[in-house]
Amino acid sequence: LAQPPGPRARRAPGAGWRGWRVTDFCWMGVGACATRLLADFGAEVIRIEDRNRLDMPRRLPIYKGDPRTYGEEDANPDPNKGGLFNNYNRNKLGVTINMRSPKGRALTDRLIASSSVVTENFAPGVMERWGLTFERLKELSPQVIFARMSGFGHSGPHAAYRSYGPIVQAVSGISHISGLPGLEPSGWGLSYMDNEAAFFNASALLTAIYHRNITGEGPRSTFRPSRRGSTCSVRSCWTSR
């Protein structure tokens, strides 16, 4: 695999992020949609899954020829059938690795050693249990960029809380300001913040890549969707006045 370019190296027109490899532990929407953008720009994104716990969008609609409401899971899905998963993970490669086994950990180490970026959006503590701290990643790939995308970050009073998009929407106040005037809040029928925050996650990743191109140093990036949700909520309240 071609190594990423050095500081201020010129790229051919249309080359995008070709030559960058991303080890992608992300699942659900907020992480998967962010790394999807890198894949769209030409990066080689390798999506890691656990065969015993497939990503939830594989079990959710949209399924061709099988109409069901969003959120109505299929307990035994065809893993390649889910339109939602295929949308979130277009242009990516995929591999299943058992991170509970020494063989799986060793395989992951080899993959990270040949990668420029590592991404994850687990609850805090998961990567640490696997021994994949930022310090360990830098031992494997000295210029690696480590992007983390948990709902409430990895520090502060709410760091231990787990979340999905609808939780972030409620905590940040977006659900409260939804609906029609004079009626109770209606909430959102979609995981809006998963998609909204994903674009900012991707922007943070691209900024980190730009920083590495200039300085040669791979930074650690932590993004909190809850903080972005609060910004959206305040902005919506202000513009509605």
Active site residues: 194
Assess contact for 126 and 154: CB atoms under 8 A: no
Nearest CA to 45 out of 5, 89, 79, 77 is that of 89
Residue 95, SS3? Answer: strand
State the SS3 of 38-56. HHHCCCEEEEEEECCECCH
What are the start-end ranges of the E strands in the chain? 21-24, 44-49, 93-96, 117-120, 145-148, 220-222
Assess contact for 63 and 69: CB atoms under 8 A: no
Find all residues with CB under 8 Å of 87, minimum gap 6, and list them.
none
Assess contact for 187 and 175: CB atoms under 8 A: yes
Nearest CA to 115 out of 88, 150, 142, 149 is that of 142
